[in-house]
Amino acid sequence: MTLVQYGDYFYLYVLVLALIPAVILGVLEKNIKYYGVFISILMIIAVMGMGKIFPLFLIGEIVLIKGYSVLRKKTDNKYLYYIVLFLSMSPVIIFKVSAITIERSIGFIGLSYLNFKAIQMIIEIYDEAIKEVSIIKTLYFFLFFPTLISGPIDRSRRFEDDLERKISRNEYINEYLYHGIKRIIRGIVYKFILANLINALWMSKISEHITFSSSLNYMYAYSLYLFFDFAGYTAFAVGTSYILGIRMPENFNKPFLSKDMKEFWTRWHISLSKWFGDYIYSRFVLNSMRKKRFKNRFVASHIGQLLTMLIMGAWHDLKWFYIIYGLYQGAALVGTDIYQRKSKFYKAHKKEKWFQYIEIVATFHIACFGLLLFSGYLFGS
């Protein structure tokens, strides 16, 4: 029998037992990372079973990362970089395509998030932000079980800095353990209580027959359900990470209080939006301006926003409603930018409280409609 990560109370029971030695080590001011590697391996086996695909992926990516780090010291050849980058992305590309061609018969849960880690390291090796690659640290970076399935998406350099940080007893108890337990309790409230209640008492009772009324009802229900379910998962992941001595970045920060869609994407699935912003959007815009592809930086930014969100939509899956979702989010970002730059009304009132409340309500509905598209409800999926 395999466990469902953060999926039920039995998993939580197993998790609590697994974390007790980590707490003892932290209180005794001992390094937790070796126990972290050990328990990560056990938890991965418990969640994934004894399959062969995950070990093959892990070995392949680490060999590729370590090998390229050696080659990068000898050459900055762009074609070699592109080949290595494509090879690092190939598992997730094959996985996504297999959903269409052979009913997703390959892959494993968490593949996409692990692939983000590999791609990030290859890019930063090329940029020379990463100069040395430790196989042991990289292995733990990939194996770290709290964020295995759905993030948050961490960065290797930040993760390794935490590994080397010496934590005093008081700091561990008052910061790591306190914040870890606090977030796990939040996860229980969000995922097991609020998300389950919304699903059982509201969302599951909405008719599958699509009307304006049912669509509006489903939009609100699904948006709140997805937030509490995913933010609950994230709270578990961040809390567990803290107890293991790793200060995992937050993934949600009151997204439904955002005043515009640009702010929304700094509050919703923060690690994903930052990853796409750093490694796709920013690079595309800077490269476009350097090569003068567009007449000004605003056009470059708008094309970059559309492209980035389109790729984000396709990353979720190669189903057409995810593509529509990505284009919608890109258009919402472009529209927000044009409106804020050109609207005299916005510039005159943007600092006034009444206007900000209207912005929050409007942004909430724009975001929720995007999540309705994401749900597939309108398309019978």
Predicted local distance difference test score (pLDDT) of residue 97: 75
Span 23-44, mean pLDDT? 96
Each residue of 68-86: pLDDT tens digit?
Answer: 999 999 999 999 999 999 9
* Digit-coded pLDDT (tens) for 252-288: 999 999 999 999 999 999 999 999 999 999 999 999 9
What DSSP letter does each residue of 66-102 carry, written as one string?
HHHHHHHTT---HHHHHHHHHHHHHHHHHHHHHHHHS
User: Amino acid identity of 255?
Assistant: P
Residues of the chain with pLDDT > 90, as a percent, come to 87
Q: Is 154 exposed, middle or buried (0-12, 13-18, 19+ CB in 10 A)?
A: buried
- Does residue 291 sit in helix, strand or coil? coil
> Do 261 and 332 touch, CB atoms closer than 8 A?
yes
The sign of the CA dihedral 242, 156, 89, 34 is: negative
At residue 288, the pLDDT reads 94
Q: What is the predicted pLDDT for the residue at 378? A: 94
Q: Indicate the domain borders of the chain.
A: 32-164, 175-243, 255-379
Candidates 179, 209, 302, 316; catalytic one:
316
Residue 109: which residues within 8 A CB-CB, separation 6 or more?
A: 47, 48, 148, 149
pLDDT at residue 100 is higher than 60? no
| Mean pLDDT across 26-43 | 96
H runs (alpha helix) in the chain: 9-27, 33-48, 53-72, 78-101, 111-126, 135-143, 156-164, 169-171, 178-187, 196-201, 212-243, 261-264, 270-276, 282-290, 297-316, 320-342, 344-349, 353-375
What is the 8-class DSSP label of residue 191? I
> What pLDDT does 2 receive?
73
**What is the band of 321 on the pLDDT scale with cuts at 50, 70, 90?**
very high
What is the per-residue pLDDT for 139? 96
**Given this model, what pLDDT does residue 104 score?**
46
Residue 8 host element (H or E): none
Summarize the confidence of residues 115-131 as an average pLDDT.
96
316: annotated active-site residue: yes
pLDDT band at 108 (very low <50, low <70, confident <90, very high): low
- Judge whether residue 317 has pLDDT over 90: no
Return the half-sphere exposure (C-beta side, CA atoms, 13 A cut-off) of residue 299.
Answer: 7
